[in-house]
């Protein structure tokens, strides 16, 4: 049943409620190199102009990822292509100078429970608010003028844990020192929620909360579902409960294969999963019939297929996955990660056309 044209905010709220919509909500992400390529190929504008062309329905008001040493960036060495930096988390990593990419992590300052308790925990608890209330209010005005669904955006405890102590130490500690893991996750969650409370006290009135945290790789979660339930899930539920108590909906972002923990996500209070990484074996055509009445599906359009620039392959990807997601009334468009620079501007303009054609109810 087709309805009259809606605002983005109305559309997203109706997606959460599984009510009729005029079309599916839309959003996407792009590498900076992708935008640079598209500008060379004729794009007039930037990232935000592409989102306007797409008809994005989502609008972030902030980004909360509290660190122990805000503003710290000490260049330790550099060459023609890279620089090695000690950063705001106390770690050392080598970064590309002129392009995006995963950094090479060399060391993590918080590499023991002693370092956490004597240096990093006190530093985290002592840092001032790392969000700009004035900027959030301005973003709120912009989002409302565009009719978009506005959201607080922040990183959850597992992602913060990995960023602070590194994957190797993190995964060993989950087995050998679970209380340390619980404490890091709890402190981080306390600070994020305290920051969000300050925004609300300053007059920010979001429609929802979008939480970021990658907890899986291409075959499975980084820890067992039981370990996730014991050590991290309580903090996830805290964040969702906080949002629900304030009338907000909750989106959770994670890359990787998370099929085995979808029921735990639902129990935590997550209402929407994004981006549903196709490259990791996630498929909305499988999950929507099983979970779509409890968990909205947001994304899953394979960027590897986009990168072929074969419009027949891309159209089939969009057509079939949209059909599965839209059958639940709980689906929104997004690529399954960020659109890479292998995708031409002509291809992405065609993708916007496919999104419009197959995403209309």
Which tokens in the block code for residue 268?
A: 């935590």
pLDDT score of 99: 87
Q: CA of 90: how far to CAs of 65, 116, 189, in Å?
A: 14, 11, 19
Beta bridge mates, 209: 152, 250
pLDDT at 346: 98
Average pLDDT of the residues in 301-316: 98
Burial class from Cβ neighbours inside 10 Å (0-12, 13-18, 19+) for residue 255 reads: buried
Query: Does residue 155 sit in helix, strand or coil?
Result: strand
pLDDT of the residue at 5: 87
The pLDDT of 254-268, averaged and rounded, is 98
Distance of CA 272 to the CA centre of its chain: 11
pLDDT band at 230 (very low <50, low <70, confident <90, very high): very high
Q: CB burial class (10 A; 0-12, 13-18, 19+) of residue 217? A: middle
| pLDDT at residue 3, rounded to an integer | 54
Angle between the 178-201 and 233-245 helix axes, to the nearest 10 degrees? 20
Q: What is the 3-state secondary structure (H, E, C) of 237-284?
A: HHHHHHHHHCCCEEEEEECCCCHHHHHHHHHHCCCEEEECCHHHCCCH
Model confidence over 81-111: pLDDT tens digits?
999 999 999 999 999 998 888 899 999 999 9
Q: What confidence score (pLDDT) does residue 100 get?
A: 87
pLDDT of residue 333: 98
Structural domains in the chain plus CATH codes: 8-67+128-358 (3.20.20.210)
Residue ranges of E strands in 121-160: 149-155
Q: What is the mean pLDDT of residues 295-317?
A: 98
DSSP string, 98-109: SS----EEEE-S
For helices 284-291 and 311-326, the axis angle rounded to 10 degrees is 0
């Amino acid at each position: 049943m087709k309805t009259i044209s809606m605002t983005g905010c109305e559309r997203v709220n109706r997606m959460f409620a599984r009510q009729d919509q005029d079309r599916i909500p839309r959003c996407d992400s792009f590498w900076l190199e992708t935008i640079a390529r598209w500008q060379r190929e004729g794009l007039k504008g930037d990232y935000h102009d592409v989102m306007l062309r797409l008809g994005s329905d989502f609008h972030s008001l902030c980004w909360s990822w509290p660190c122990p040493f805000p503003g710290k960036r000490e260049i330790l060495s550099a060459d023609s292509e890279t620089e090695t930096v000690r950063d705001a988390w106390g770690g050392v990593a080598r970064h590309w100078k002129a392009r995006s990419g995963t950094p090479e992590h060399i060391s993590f300052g918080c590499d023991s429970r002693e370092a956490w308790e004597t240096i990093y925990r006190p530093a985290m608890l002592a840092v001032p608010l790392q969000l700009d209330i004035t900027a959030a209010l301005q973003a709120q005005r912009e989002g409302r003028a565009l009719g978009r669904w506005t959201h607080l955006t922040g990183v959850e405890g597992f992602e913060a844990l990995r960023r602070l102590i590194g994957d190797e130490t993190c995964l060993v500690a989950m087995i050998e020192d679970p209380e340390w893991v619980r404490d890091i996750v709890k402190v981080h969650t306390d600070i994020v929620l305290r920051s969000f409370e300050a925004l609300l006290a300053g007059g920010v009135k979001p429609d929802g909360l979008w939480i970021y945290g990658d907890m899986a790789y291409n075959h499975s979660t980084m820890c067992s579902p039981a370990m996730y339930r014991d050590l991290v899930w309580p903090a996830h539920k805290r964040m969702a409960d906080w949002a629900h108590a304030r009338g907000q909906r909750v989106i959770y972002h994670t890359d990787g294969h998370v099929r085995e923990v979808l029921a735990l996500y639902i129990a935590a209070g997550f209402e929407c999963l994004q981006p549903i990484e196709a490259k990791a074996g996630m498929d909305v055509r499988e999950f929507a019939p099983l979970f779509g009445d409890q968990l909205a599906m947001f994304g899953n359009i394979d960027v590897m297929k986009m990168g072929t620039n074969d419009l027949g392959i891309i159209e089939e990807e969009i057509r079939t996955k949209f059909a599965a997601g839209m059958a639940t009334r709980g689906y929104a468009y997004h690529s399954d990660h960020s659109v890479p620079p292998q995708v031409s501007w002509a291809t992405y303009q065609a993708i916007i056309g496919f999104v419009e054609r197959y995403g209309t109810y």
